[in-house]
């Protein structure tokens, strides 16, 4: 694949434009555009969404890195220089999600916003961002799959991809990055349709957490990269199972609360009756 788009030498310095980084930037902007559109539909100031998005991004990057180091703390404790080398990797997604949610809740509370509504706005945007970001994973070679002989297997041959991500070269592998991208984009379409039709605030967010945990758990079975495990389950499968249980319980609880449905319906009606703020 193509982990590096361009190599440049400027004023005696060698600079590279990584494909992964470029696609992550595109993913952030595309997801933000979807979130802003959702905020306007809900009658929420778009500046609030933009602030939340930026803060959540920074918190997510920190959380993903922290969980990466915690899962293999002994290695990084014995090899502190590896911490700098690992800065090129994205980290562990669920670590980023948990820290980003915590940071988002703090901002939402201070702004006096409804966290469930913000979550519904964010859910399809996150899915779209993930779908684009996984294409960056495919270009870089990270999050690679197990060896296989299927007709759609992919074979990496770029030495720089191996250097950056450790992906095996000249070995047919499951294109798990593309599995992820397809699953995330499908989830994006489902959530995009669900948000304006939701029966209670938080439905789209909880549906995202439930469906993503299931899809991620299945795809993890085809992953071949080292990412931590407990017995036969990977770290992401264990965290996903926990999130699935909590989100499933909250989904059932909120769906059975009449007030949640009335609040969601009243909020959508009020938002539709007034011009959406431009922020």
Residue 90 lies in a domain: yes
> What is the pLDDT, as a whole number, of residue 93?
74
**Do 71 and 108 contact (CB within 8 A), yes or no?**
no
Q: Is residue 149 part of a domain?
A: yes
Query: Tens of pLDDT along 168-214?
Result: 999 999 999 999 999 999 999 999 999 999 999 999 999 999 999 99
**Domain ranges, residue 105:** 4-268
Handedness of CA 217, 219, 221, 224 (dihedral sign): negative
pLDDT at 66: 82
pLDDT digit string (tens) for 116-160? 999 999 999 999 999 999 999 999 998 999 999 999 999 999 998
Domain membership of residue 275 (yes or no) is no
Q: How confident is the model at residue 82 (pLDDT cuts 50, 70, 90)?
A: low
277 in any annotated domain:
no
**Mean pLDDT over each residue of the chain, to the nearest integer:** 85
Angle at 110 between CA 109 and CA 113, to 5 degrees: 50
Q: 153 and 179 in contact (C-beta within 8 Å)? A: no
The answer to the question of residue 274 being in a domain is no
Model pTM above 0.95: no
Instruction: Tally the domains of the chain.
Output: 1
Q: What percent helix, strand, coil does the chain show, rounded to 5?
A: 70, 10, 20
pLDDT bucket at 97, cuts 50 / 70 / 90: confident
Count of alpha carbons within 13 Å of 70, Cβ hemisphere only? 11
Q: Report yes or no on 63 lying in a domain.
A: yes
Residue 228 resides in a domain: yes
Inside any domain, residue 276: no
């Amino acid at each position: 694949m193509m982990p590096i788009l361009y190599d440049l030498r400027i004023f005696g310095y060698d600079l590279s434009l990584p494909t992964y980084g470029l696609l992550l930037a595109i993913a952030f902007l595309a997801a933000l555009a979807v979130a802003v559109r959702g905020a306007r539909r809900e009658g929420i100031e778009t500046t609030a969404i933009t602030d939340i998005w930026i803060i959540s991004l920074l918190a997510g990057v920190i959380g993903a890195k922290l969980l990466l180091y915690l899962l293999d703390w002994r290695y990084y404790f014995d090899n502190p220089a590896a911490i700098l080398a690992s800065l090129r990797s994205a980290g562990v997604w669920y670590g980023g999600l948990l820290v980003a949610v915590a940071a988002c809740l703090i901002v939402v509370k201070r702004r006096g916003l409804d966290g469930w509504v913000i979550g519904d706005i964010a859910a399809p945007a996150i899915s779209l961002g993930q779908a684009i970001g996984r294409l960056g994973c495919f270009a870089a070679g990270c999050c690679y799959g197990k060896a296989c002989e299927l007709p759609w297997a992919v074979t990496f041959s770029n030495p720089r991809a191996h250097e950056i991500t450790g992906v095996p070269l000249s070995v047919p592998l499951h294109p798990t990055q593309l599995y992820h991208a397809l699953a995330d984009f499908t989830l994006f379409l489902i959530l995009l349709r669900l948000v304006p039709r939701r029966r209670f605030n938080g439905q789209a967010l909880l549906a995202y957490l439930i469906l993503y945990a299931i899809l991620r758990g299945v795809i993890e079975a085809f992953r071949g990269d080292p990412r931590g495990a407990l017995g036969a389950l990977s770290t992401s499968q264990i965290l996903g199972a926990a999130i699935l249980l909590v989100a499933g319980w909250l989904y059932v609880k909120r769906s059975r609360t009449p007030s949640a449905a009335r609040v969601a319906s009243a909020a959508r009606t009020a938002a539709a009756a007034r011009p959406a703020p431009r922020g």
